[in-house]
Amino acid sequence: MNNLSKLPIEFYNREVKSVAKSLLGKIFVRRIDGLLVSGRIVEVEAYDGRNDEASHSFSGMTKRNEVMFRNAGHLYVYFTYGMHFCANVVIGKEGYGAAVLIRAIEPIEGISMLAKNRFNKENISPKELFNLCSGPAKICQAFGINREQNGINLSGGEIYILYAPEIPASKIASTTRIGIKKSIDLLWRYYIKDNPFVSKK
């Protein structure tokens, strides 16, 4: 694998916490109207299958979480709080139900389009740049991700993730997951230490 190659499906077909940590530093790419926007993944959370109380898959398959039970490498997008979308990468074998929530991205390419989508203007301040993709719903708004992208395959051309070298373990912080009320003791949130684009320290 080199820096210009898409992650192969096998990358996603591993134990979910390993994949979550491994996704840090990788490049998330979205094609909108033939234009590319992209950024580095700097914060994620792991949600396991039926054994994780905080996971959407915990109570089994429903119409909402059906995509989570597909095989590795699909995009699971859900709607929450009446106004927000969040994007996850499906992990593991078909029927397992694990996913990695993308929580923060450091913008790289197409910043004016990301800014237009989120703030309805193309030129933003440094402060607004740090606020552009520092949260799961902010990412979806900036990258134009909603119901229509639920279930798409990351091996296609609309949304995909590019290889980048592994972030060393010494540079990865591990904390409790944000915004959940069950399994609050598990340290399954991972982010790149000292990266200013994460949602919270």
Contact positions toward DNA, by CB under 7 A?
Answer: 45, 47, 54-57, 59, 62-65, 68, 78-84, 86, 88, 99, 101, 118, 131, 135-139, 177-181, 199
CA angle 29, 167, 150 (to 5 degrees): 30
CB-nearer residue toward DNA: 1 or 147: 147
Q: What are the percentages of helix, strand and coil residues in the chain, rounded to 5?
A: 20, 30, 50
CB-nearer residue toward DNA: 64 or 193: 64
CB 52 within 8 A of CB 59: no
CA distance linking residue 159 with residue 157, whole number of Å: 6
Closest approach of DNA to the CB of residue 182, in Å = 7
CB-nearer residue toward DNA: 81 or 157: 81
CB-nearer residue toward DNA: 62 or 155: 62
CA distance linking residue 142 with residue 152, whole number of Å: 18
Q: What is the C-alpha end-to-end distance of the chain, expressed in Å?
A: 32
Closest approach of DNA to the CB of residue 81, in Å = 4
Closest approach of DNA to the CB of residue 55, in Å = 5
